[in-house]
Structure 1
Amino acid sequence: MASSVKQLCTICHDDGISKSAVTWCTECEVFFCGDCEKPHSKSRLSKNHKTISAEDYQKLPTFMQEISSQCRDHKKKFELYCSFHACPCCVQCVTDKHKKCQDMKPLSDILQQVKSFASFQLFEKDLQDVKENFDTAIKYLKTRISTINTQKTKAVEKILYSRKTIDDYLNKLEQDILNDLESKHSKLKLNMATLVQQMEQQVSQINQMQSQFTKMTQHATELQMYIGLKEIEKTTSQMAKYLEDLESGDHFLEKNLEVNISSALQSILQDVISFGDININTTSSTLQIKAGRIDQAQQLVPKYTRIENLKPSLLTRLKIPKDKKSLNIFACLILPDGKFILLDYNKRQVLLFSNDGIFIRKVVTFKDYTCDACFVRNNTVAVALGLENKTAMVDIEKNKIIQTINLSHNCYGVVSDDKTLIISSGGGQCTTVNLNDMSHTMVEGMGGVYHISLFKEISMVPFTVKTKSAVIIALENLCGHFSTETLPAQ
């Protein structure tokens, strides 16, 4: 955004006078009022300097207004350009910071390429392509938001439908067992009520006979009494036999009603601990954006120095303690704070060394063989555990394993860019792990890849490493970047 502050003439301001500037010299980097601009434009040293109006200068973005043609450290004009570090340099910079840089170019040659119309067109197209890619990505994400909103609605409907289906089914089962209870209760009650009625008829007959027996004893003749007693004896015997038959049968067994709830139904309370699961399944993105130019980074200047031009020099030698001379080193890491991590395959341990190569401590020891390691973030190192199909996350400060990632393939190589963890199997598969939500994505077709590296945070470069017991030496090349080499153990 352009600045809205009115600029004052630099020359007059130095003399304590406030006059509005009318021009800006791009080489002197000074504002001039109308009076001061005249001698500047006539001077033999500055008459060919390019100037722009102060009004046009105000239209420049703030970050461009702050760009100077002079080195802030040495207050000298930029004259050279370091291709490796992609920055302009003054003569003093070359002596102080770029002694080892091989590819220095005249800054004027670089600026000449910037001035070409073709470059402006390419970068204008790049900006347009990036904007279109952002617009496309935003539209895609908004579509995805709409999609997951629809998915949520359908999921709610599915949950409610499942609940209703279960409720309806349980209601049916409940009604069935209530009907069965009513049926069996009615049948049992009817049987006993019928028996009671029959027995009450027998009791009524006995009551009648008892009444007749009293009258017989009072008024009957001896013959009538004899025959009557015989009849009473016969009837009494029949009723006794009827009662004995009832008792010997199942008529007097206590038939109780009881309910047994289905064990499968009861197990719901113990076995069913959730209504279901909500999963986030990751699939390949359908977003299509325009690819940037392959040579975009090198459009104006070459950015990378060829490997044959790099001249490494010894930086630090790690001092291995005498009791650890038999190390079988499978990885050496340089942490952000300059400390070193060694991965010992034989004893399955992670070792920490100081910036100057002095052994500090053993961090952790594993039960499984350690095959590779990489720095992740926040004092965390990932260690690949080979045939165990595991990769462990180790906190270097706390000396403990804070998380174990279980995979479906071997873990021989591991690399991270602070957002993603990539683990190779050596047998054709790699898995990427999102470090934010720990979701996994399988990558097929990586045959023979044991150890991997990240290039520009996106590309995986496979290579095979054979290691022996060795002492790791950290090297610094001429441009200040680190690499490693192995030397036989001593």
Structure 2
Amino acid sequence: MASIIFRDSNGDNAGDFIGESTVTQSCEPCMKTNKSKTATVFCKECDEYMCDTCKNPHTTYKTDQHTLVNFLDKKSAPVMIDMKGINKCNEHGRDIEFFCQDHSKLCCSSCVLIHRKCGQVDEIANVSRQTRPELQALKQSLIKLQSEADDIIADCKQSETVLNKSIEKMSLEVDAMRDRMIQLFEVAKKKFITEANEFRTAESKRIGNRRETSSKVKEDICTVLSMCCIVLERGTPSQRYIYSELIKEKRNTMESNIHDQRKIKVAPTVIVSFSKELTSFHEVGSNIIQLNYDGNKTVKTSRIGLPSQPRQFTMELLVSMDLPKTGDDHMEPCLSGLDFLPDGRLVAVDNHNDKCVVLNDQLQRLGKPYKFKIRPLGVVCTSHGALCVTFGSKKVVLLLSVSKDNVIKLTRKIKTSSEFDSVCCMSPYHMVVSTRDDSRHARMLSVDGVESDFNKLVFAKKTYKAHGSKCTYIQSKNTLVLTDRKAHTVYLYDTLMGTFRAVTNEDIHIPIGACVGPGDTVLVCSASKHSIVHMSVKGEIIGTYPVDMRFPNSICVSKDGSSLAMSNCVEGIRKLQLYKLSPATS
């Protein structure tokens, strides 16, 4: 018996199914008589292998014309293949000889007993002569699957290349963001150091003035005291009387000077405070960077809001209070300025009754109101318990302190060169104020009374009258916000770049008060629309919120962004309201 190792063009892949195929050619008639001879021819009609001895009687005694082909012609003759056991029944280990059409199952002689009740069980030897299996079609389908597998492998290689490149690009993007953050931090540090040096210069000047004044008073005291001792020891009664009367006036002046210097408070120690965005950045830790991919449809961003878009919020009315005239008022209250202290207490200035009041979270008055001699306009909390109040045409600003037990005291009076209307916080030591009758629509004012301008900004060539424009300032965005009541416009100035946006919208009509909203956005009172307009620093309208108040005028948001207070100044329907702010659900 001859044995040949046979492979076709797809042999490498076929080996995965049945391994290497061993081809044997034996004469089938001889095998029936237990003889073994090598087959040389194949009868296509009988599907039978024969040797030279058996082929002659085969052609002689067969009635039909049979075609014999030389078995050595591999293209025309089939071969006997060692099937490597795949032609054996897995269950019984016997040769597969039958096919059950009912169950589409190959069977051995033992399986036939199980399928004896089936309608059609055929011997493979018979059916294979009648209908040849569609092996060629199966081969083509396998080739097609092989091609698809090749495509997948090629796609995997390409995907791997793209993945590696995207990882490299992502690393570069993270490095770029890191560099931007470092640059931003350096700019902030430079600004902070400049501000600290300015404060040191101003504070040193105050300390120097205080020391110089006190030293001069001390010199005068020493001179007077020396003479006093001499007169007291050696002078006549008349001299003592005269000198006593003379130094009484000097003593009063000296006493007054010492008292004034004692009231002056200096800040020998300063500390640095970081914005809530920066502290949140630190709290998030390594989660400030998130991996996003096609299978992960949820885009993750850091909690500090670097790539995030401004979100809407919901407003829940907590307390609404009418503002009628009470026993200590000479007019119906008109709250022209509002701001929150860091602990959540609300401060309000009453323009009609010349006073400043502190309120709790139920809008109940705390402590005794502070009475002014002139009408206040705006108020802002500059630091813990420190307030700044403006007075318009009087060209004066007062600095107040508020204790934990709600006692309000005057700490400093600052005379200004401009008329200031509204006021907002720029830093713990600087305020931004809107102006009246001044081409500089907004200016800066330090707690030491130093006035300065936004030199990079170019304002429109006009001036504002009383209540014509209000301001707010977004420190993290270096953005100055000015409302223009008559033009129904909100101006957003980039104080670093010197550029601005003029925002007009059908929902913005008679914009008055403005404040910094959640996420460093802008909230503006749209008076004639009886609503609040929420916008980004780019001028995009995020949302509009109708309120239960006619012509809202003043507005402020708590330091933690959870509360909003609002008031109006319409005769007969004056209100003060407190709202709870919550992020809107998507």
What TM-score do the two structures reach when normalised by structure 1? 0.39
Q: TM-score, normalized by length of structure 2?
A: 0.34
**Larger relative contact order, structure 1 or 2 (CA cutoff 8 Å, min sep 6):** 1
More strand by share: 2
Select the structure that is richer in helix. Answer: 1
